Amino acid sequence: MDSATPDLSKIPAGEPPPGVRRNSINPPSLLNAVIGSTVVIQFFTLLFILIRVYVNVWTRKLDFEDAFVYAAWVGFIAQTALSVYNSTQCMSRHIWDVDVASVLKGSYRYNNIFICYTVASGLAKTAIFLQMKKIFTTRVKGLVYWVIVVSLVANAVGYTALLFLYVFTCWPREKLRDPTIPGYCMDWKGMIITMAIVNIISDVEAIIVPAWTIWQLQLATKKKLSVFAVFAVGTFAVAIGCAGVYYRVLVYMKLDTTWHLTQTSILCMAELGSVIIVGCCPYVPRLYRRRQIKSSTSSNGYGSSYDPVSSRSKARSRFQTIGDTDLRANSDVHLEMHDYTNDAERTGHEEQVSIGMRIPKTTEVTQTSEPV
Query: What is the 3 state secondary structure string of 258-327?
Result: HHHHHHHHHHHHHHHHHHHHHHHHHHHHHHHHHHHHHHHHHHCCCCCCCCHHHHHHHHHHHHHHCCCCCC
Are 95 and 257 spatial neighbours (Cβ–Cβ below 8 Å)? yes
DSSP character at residue 355: T
- Per residue in 260-318, pLDDT tens? 999 999 999 999 999 999 899 888 887 777 766 666 666 555 544 445 555 555 544 44
CATH code assigned at 276: 1.20.1070
Is residue 252 in some structural domain?
yes
Buried b (16+ CB within 10 A) or exposed e, 288-314: ebbeebeeeeeeeeeeeebebeebbeb
Most confident of 1-5, 10-14, 216-220: 10-14
Cis peptide before 308 (omega within 30 of 0): no
Q: Which of 228, 252, 286 is the last residue of a domain?
A: 286
Least confidently predicted of 90-99, 168-177, 358-367: 358-367
- Is residue 357 one of the residues assigned to a domain? yes
Helix, strand, coil share of the chain (percent; to 5): 65, 5, 30
Q: Is 17 within the bounds of a domain?
A: no
- Measured in Å, how far apart are the chain's first and last C-alpha atoms? 66
228, 258, 286 - which closes a domain = 286
Is 296 a domain residue?
A: no
Answer yes or no: do 279 and 342 share one domain: no
| DSSP secondary structure string for all residues of 205-247 | HHHHHHHHHHHTS-S-HHHHHHHHTTTTTHHHHHHHHHHHHHH
Q: Give the pLDDT of residue 126.
A: 94
- Residue 370 carries which DSSP code? P
Interaxial angle between packed helices 188-215 and 257-280, expressed in degrees from 0 to 180 and rounded to the nearest 10: 20
pLDDT, residue 301, reads: 53
Distance in angstroms (rounded) separating the CA atoms of residues 33 and 331: 46
Which whole number is the average pLDDT over 146-155?
91
Report CA-CA distances (Å) from 368 to 223, 252, 289, 316, 346. Answer: 21, 59, 14, 10, 10
User: pLDDT of 333-352, one tens digit each?
Assistant: 445 444 544 433 333 333 33
Q: How many domains does the chain have?
A: 2
CA distance 354 to 129: 22
Please report, as a single letter, which amino acid is at residue 279: G
Q: Which of 258, 286, 314 is the last residue of a domain?
A: 286
In a domain, 67, yes or no: yes
Same domain, 271 and 327: no
Give a yes or no: residue 6 inside a domain: no
Longest pairwise C-alpha distance within the chain:
94
Residue 96 near residue 28, CB atoms below 8 Å: no
Are residue 46 and residue 140 in the same domain, yes or no?
Answer: yes
Q: Is 277 inside any structural domain?
A: yes
Same domain, 282 and 317: no
Range of the domain at 329: 306-372
Whether residues 63 and 212 share a domain: the answer is yes
Core vs surface per residue 138-169: b (16+ CB within 10 A) or e: beeeeebbebbeebbeebeebbeebbebbeeb
